[in-house]
Amino acid sequence: MSEDVLKINDLKVRYGGIEAVRGISFFVKKGEIVTLIGANGAGKSSTLRAISGLIKPAGGKVELEGEDITAKDSTTIVSKGLMMVPEGRRIFPNLSVLENLKIGAYLRNDDLEEDLNMVYGYFPRLKERSWQAGGTLSGGEQQMLAVGRALMGRPKLLMMDEPSLGLAPIVVQDIFEIIKRIHENGTTVLLIEQNANMALHVADRAYVIENGKISLEGTGKELLADEKVQAAYLGARG
């Protein structure tokens, strides 16, 4: 029971009259990589934003390692070990690459050397550019920086919102390789994607979100083989 790192129960998000998330429940176990896939506007980002405290959910419960963190402020949530890579990377363009990494560890007061080396190990290119302003990096490099920044917070759960968005296919491959390695090295990952094919291949388990509700769930393999998923998300004909 307590091996659920994240447990979401009947989460609801409303924007004025629009109900973007209509009662979603799912969980992520320690060591897993779980993906939420869904089309544009399905409510994926709203779900993540409600979990990380950026918006107040209209209902439901969010538990991190058994502790209720529903609608807590984001500082508290980050301090409990939940880090997010936001949609569109959102690196700080005016901060250097090194500062962008350090700011991911904003709430930590211990030595960052080891973690910096770990991040530079995943992304050697960031080390070469550590004095460059974040805004001067390419899209792919910015995505790596955003992932590295989140890792600097030593997350118990790393949440990523569409890390493949707007990147060239070859860069997407790189990013997914790294996600796999990060996961293999012991980080629990919640991955949000529209790129269902890539996401389902790396995921232990997956959920499909449609119109703010979960319509399907299963292991990555099961969903890859599912006809509805193939038709709607994998571009298969028939």
Partner 1 sequence: MGTLACGKVHIMEYVISVLLSGISVGGQYALIAIGYTLVYGILRLINFAHGDVFMVAGLLGIYLTATLPIPVSLPLVIVFTVLLGFTIERAAYKPLREAPRMSVMISAIGVSYLLQNTATYVTGGQPMTYPTIPFLSDTVNVAGTQTKWVVIITPFLVLILVTFLTMLINRTKVGMAMRAVSKDFETSRLMGIRINSVISVTFIIGSALAAVGSTLFFTNYPAITPMAGAMPGLKAFVAAVFGGIGSIPGAVIGAFIIGICETIIKGLPSNWDVSVFSDAFTFALLIVILAFKPQGLFGEAAADKV
Ligand X SMILES: Nc1ncnc2c1ncn2[C@@H]1O[C@H](COP(=O)(O)OP(=O)(O)O)[C@@H](O)[C@H]1O
Q: What secondary structure does DSSP assign to 36-76, as a single string?
A: EE--TTSSHHHHHHHHTTSS--SEEEEEETTEE-TT--HHH
Candidate residues 102, 129, 180, 213; the one interacting with partner 1 per rule CB under 8 A: 102
Work out the number of other CB atoms within 10 angstroms of the CB of residue 113: 8
Q: How far apart are CA 15 and CA 5, in angstroms?
A: 28
* Tokens coding 45: 């980002």
Give 184's contacts (C-beta < 8 A, 6+ positions apart). none
Select from partner 1, ligand X, Mg ion, none the partner in contact with residue 168, using the beta carbon and a kind-dependent cut-off of 5 to 8 Å. none
Q: Please list every residue from 39 through 58 that binds ligand X, using CB under 6 A.
A: 40-46
| Residues that contact Mg ion, how many (by CB under 5 A) | 2
Q: Greatest CA span in the chain, whole angstroms?
A: 56
| Rounded-to-10 torsion of CA 36, 82, 46, 183 | -20
163 binds partner 1 (CB under 8 A): no
By CB under 8 A, is residue 148 in contact with partner 1? no
Among 39, 54, 58, 118, binds partner 1 (CB under 8 A): 54
What is the smallest separation between the CB atom of 18 and ligand X, expressed in angstroms? 5
Site for partner 1 in 70-89 (CB under 8 A): 74-75, 78-79, 83-84, 86
x/- track of binding to Mg ion for residues 77-106 (CB under 5 A) = ----------x-------------------
Neighbours of 87 (CB within 10 A): 17
**HSE-CB of 135 using CA atoms within 13 angstroms:** 4
Q: Which is nearer to Mg ion, 45 or 52 (CB)?
A: 45
Residue 192: burial class (beta carbons within 10 Å; 0-12, 13-18, 19+): buried
Q: For partner 1, which residue of 15, 67, 106, 181 counts as binding (CB under 8 A)?
A: 106
Residue 175 near residue 156, CB atoms below 8 Å: no
Nearer to Mg ion by C-beta: 45 or 100?
45
Q: Which is nearer to Mg ion, 157 or 209 (CB)?
A: 209
Regarding 45 and contact with Mg ion (CB under 5 A), the answer is: yes
Residues forming the site for ligand X (CB under 6 A):
15, 18, 20, 38, 40-46
Contact residues toward partner 1 (CB under 8 A) are: 52-54, 74-75, 78-79, 83-84, 86, 90, 92-95, 99, 102-104, 106-107, 149, 153
What residues line the site for Mg ion (CB under 5 A)?
45, 87
